[in-house]
Amino acid sequence: MDILSGLIGGFGVILTPANLYYCFLGSLVGTLIGVLPGIGPLATLSLLLPFTFNLPAVSAIVMLAAIFYGAMYGGSTTSILVNIPGEAASVITCLDGYQMARQGKAGRALGIAALGSFFAGTLSTAALTLFSPVLVAFALRFGPPEYFALMALGFVITLFMVAGSTLKAVVVLALGVFFSTIGLDIVTGKERFTFGLIEISGGFELVAVIMGLFGVSEILLNMEKMAKGEFFKKRLGSLLPTRADWRASGGPILRGSLLGFGLGVLPGGGPTTASFFSYAVERRVSKEPQRFGAGAIEGVAGPEAANNAAVGGSLIPLLSLGLPSNAVTALLLGALIIQGVQPGPMLMTQRPDIYWGVIASLYVGNVMLLVLNLPLVGLWVQLLKLPYWILFPNILLLAVVGTYSAGHSFFDVWVMIAFGMVGYALRKLDYEPAPFVLALVLGPQLEQALRQSLIMSEGSVSIFFTRPLTAVLLVLAAALVALLIVGVWSRRGLSRRLTQALKESSR
């Protein structure tokens, strides 16, 4: 009953013309920066923060939060249209969304992304409304060993994600984790693998790597075939998801929502991880995994639902504990503090207007974003009718400016170019670059958790097996690895081929 009256109070706060306006403004800006590659919610929030000083606290925080989840709606657009992820959380949407676009199904992909985002956003808000206190208690049980186990499980799951060779995925993951360790040692603070370059003492800028690996490499690949003409089927099918699309997407959206919400609640989780996990799960449960990577709508619906649900989840530790689970919620925390509001256990009783107002605004904002994004689908699809010689220089321009504005650094532009060449080479050799991004995001967290755990146990690995939650997660990871090895061995008849080859060579 408390929840109901709180929520009604929240809607009372939010359903004023002024607050609705700021919610809408945030949704609009969020969609825009989500669509534009490079500038993510983090950069935008830090720029817009000063403009919110003079707003009432509720309006300010409602607008900033709307930018955050609005970016998740918009982020999938360029992934689907031109293979450039608007956000790290939309990297995975490239795999199938872009293929759908090339097959003339861009409208259906964009439509399912928007609708899936809406359902996930609303579902996770409902979960946030109802279960916040329970979830907080659960999230606190995650200490360093639990995080290590979760990260390890995440990497194993990623191996299930890629369509091609598992060995190649191992190589890409290992490279990604190694690159994530370049820079300052997170425990001792000493430089490693930097060869004295101060620019990479903080590691590589994620935006630059993503722009290069996906955007630039895609253009280079298309350049080869440019003489042959166009890459997108001109005849466009349905602008909205068909009934068959819905049947295929229902399960992925539901699973993606749950997964995304759960991971969002955990500090260090967040939208990017959630989208990768969801994709891997969908590919695993699908009856036709070979369709993934070739334009499977489940591969768009699941991850897009997951990254939106994760936003709702990540607001729980922020509002109830005052603890940000990623850089964007850290900024929201800063915004609240500047407004003189201290998020944390007392927020719900001391400032119910803010606590419930923000929650109510999530329901409202998700509706606004759906109404805003669905009509845009038609517009975006028209963009693909432009000839490629007009499209590609614009994509390049956006990639350069987006990368530069992420950190105001020219060095990052060079990083982008270098990763563009690497991505081009890798993709020509049938390597899937997406796991590299996940490895780059999760690598530091994996190392941190591993080293924290072993420091806590004074070097003994028993810490991973004496804590029940950790043990369960690690056993799960080990079982998946076993499954993978058995699967590869039997499916590809590797053993048969090996013995045959040995016979031949001994002849």
Partner 1 sequence: MKRLLAIAGLLLVFGVLPAMAESEAEIKARINALKPADFPTQPIEFVVVYPAGGGMDVTARLLAKYVEKYTEQRIIVLNKVGGAGLVGNAYVATQAKADGYTVGVLSDGSWTDALLKAPGKWTQKNFQPLAYLNYEPRTWIVSTSGPFANKSTREIVEHAKQNPGKVKVAITPGLSGEWLAEQIEGLSGAKLIKVPFQGGAPAITALLGGHIDVAGVYYSEYQGHLAAGKVRVIGVASDRRLASMPQVPTLNEALGAKDLVWEVWRYAATPRGAPEERRKYLAAALEAALRDPGLIAEYAKKGAITERKYASVDEVEAAMDLLYERARNFFAKTGRLK
Partner 2 sequence: MRATEQVTNLVWVAMGVAIVWHAGQVGIWSANGPGGGFLPLLMGLALGCGGAALLVREALRARARRPRAAPAEDAAGARRRVAAVLGGLVAMALLMPLLGFLLAAGVTMIVLLAATDPRRWRWAVVLAVVSTLTVYGLFDTLLKMQVPRGPFGF
Residue 183 backbone phi and psi in degrees, to 5: 120, -145
Closer to partner 1 by CB, 106 or 135: give it.
Answer: 135
SS3 for 253?
A: helix
User: Shortest Cβ distance from residue 197 to partner 2 (Å)?
Assistant: 15
**Percent composition of the chain: helix, strand, coil (DSSP 3-state, to 5):** 80, 0, 20
Residue ranges in 210-269 that form contacts with partner 1 under rule CB under 8 A: 267
- Mapped onto helix, strand or coil, the DSSP state of residue 1 is coil
CA 360 centroid distance within chain: 24
Query: According to the binding rule CB under 8 A, does residue 188 interact with partner 1?
Result: yes
Binding residue (CB under 8 A) for partner 1 from 9, 56, 251, 322: 322
Which of 297/463 has CB closer to partner 2?
463
Q: Is residue 2 close enough to count as binding partner 1 by CB under 8 A?
A: no
**Contact yes or no for 241/119 (Cβ under 8 A):** no
Residues 466-470: contacts with CB within 8 Å, 24+ apart?
467/143, 467/145, 467/146, 469/141, 469/142, 469/146, 469/149, 470/145, 470/146, 470/148, 470/149
Select 289 or 407, whichever has its Cβ closest to partner 1.
407
- What is each CA distance from 417 to 86, 180, 208, 209, 491, in whole angstroms? 18, 18, 8, 9, 38
User: Which residues of the shown chain bind partner 2 in the complex (CB under 8 A)?
Assistant: 32-33, 36, 39, 43-44, 47, 165, 167-168, 170-171, 173-175, 177-178, 181, 185, 187-188, 190, 192-193, 216, 219-220, 223-228, 389-390, 392-394, 396-398, 400-401, 404-405, 408, 410, 413-414, 416-417, 420-421, 424-425, 429, 443, 446-447, 450-451, 454-455, 458-459, 497-498, 501, 504
Contact set for partner 1, span 32-51 (CB under 8 A): 42, 45-47, 49-50
Nearer to partner 1, 45 or 177 (CB): 45
> Nearest Cα to 255, choosing from 159, 451, 120?
120
Q: Cβ 215 to partner 2, closest distance in Å?
A: 11
Min dist CB 227 to partner 2, Å, is 5
- What residue has token string 């003339």? 104
Pair of tokens at residue 183: 């820079």
What is the crossing angle of helices 217-224 and 410-428, to 10°?
50
- Is the CB of residue 63 less than 8 Å from the CB of residue 261? no
Q: Tell which one of 3, 15, 18, 337 touches partner 1 (CB under 8 A).
A: 337
Q: What sign results for the dihedral spanned by CA atoms 415, 421, 422, 427?
A: positive
Q: Which residues contact 32 (CB under 8 A, 6 or more apart)?
A: 74
User: Candidates 224-232, 323-331, 387-395, 429-437 — which segment interacts with partner 1 by CB under 8 A?
Assistant: 323-331
- Between strands 191-192 and 183-184, the pairing is antiparallel
Stretch that binds partner 1, among 6-14, 94-102, 164-172, 342-350 (CB under 8 A): 342-350
The tokens describing 165, both together, are 């060779």
Q: Which does 36 bind (CB under 5 to 8 A by kind): partner 1, partner 2, none?
A: partner 2
Cβ distance to partner 1 smaller for residue 24 or 147: 147
> Minimum distance between the CB of residue 422 and partner 1, rounded to whole angstroms?
21
Q: Does 190 bind partner 1 (CB under 8 A)?
A: yes
| Residue 334 touches partner 1, criterion: CB under 8 A | yes
Helix (H) or strand (E) holding 218: helix 217-224
| Tokens at 129, concatenated | 């409304």
Binding mask 431-470 for partner 1 (x = CB under 8 A): -----------------x--xx--xx-x------------
With respect to partner 1, which residue has the nearer C-beta, 101 or 208? Answer: 208
Does position 133 bind partner 1 by CB under 8 A?
A: no
What's the count of helices (H) and strands (E) in the chain, helices before strands?
Answer: 22, 2
Residue closest to 307 by CA, chosen among 270, 258, 332: 270
DSSP assignment, residue 228? G
In the complex, least distance from residue 126 CB atom to partner 2, rounded to whole angstroms: 32
384 contacts partner 1 (rule: CB under 8 A): no
- Which of partner 2, partner 1, none has residue 418 at its interface (CB below 5 to 8 Å by kind)? none
For 165-190, letters b (16+ CB in 10 Å) and e give: eeebbeebbebbbebbbbbbeeeeee
Q: Pick the closer one to partner 2 by CB: 168 or 233.
A: 168
Identify whether the C-beta of residue 107 lies closer than 8 Å to the C-beta of residue 235: no
From candidates 3, 167, 187, 421, binder to partner 1 by CB under 8 A? 187
Residue 181 near partner 1 by CB under 8 A: no
- Among the candidate windows 287-295, 327-335, 368-376, 482-490, which touches partner 1 by CB under 8 A? 327-335
81, HSE (Cβ side, Cα atoms, 13 Å): 27
- C-alpha to C-alpha distance for 289 and 344, rounded to whole angstroms: 44
Distance CA 402, CA 450 (A): 34
Q: Give the footprint of partner 1 on residues 141-170 (CB under 8 A).
A: 141-144
Closest residue by Cα to residue 69 from 370, 462, 435: 370
Least spacing, CB of residue 238 vs partner 2, in Å: 30
* Binding residues for partner 1 (CB under 8 A): 42, 45-47, 49-50, 53, 140-144, 183-191, 198-199, 201-203, 267, 317, 321-324, 327, 330-335, 337-338, 340, 342-347, 407-408, 448, 451-452, 455-456, 458
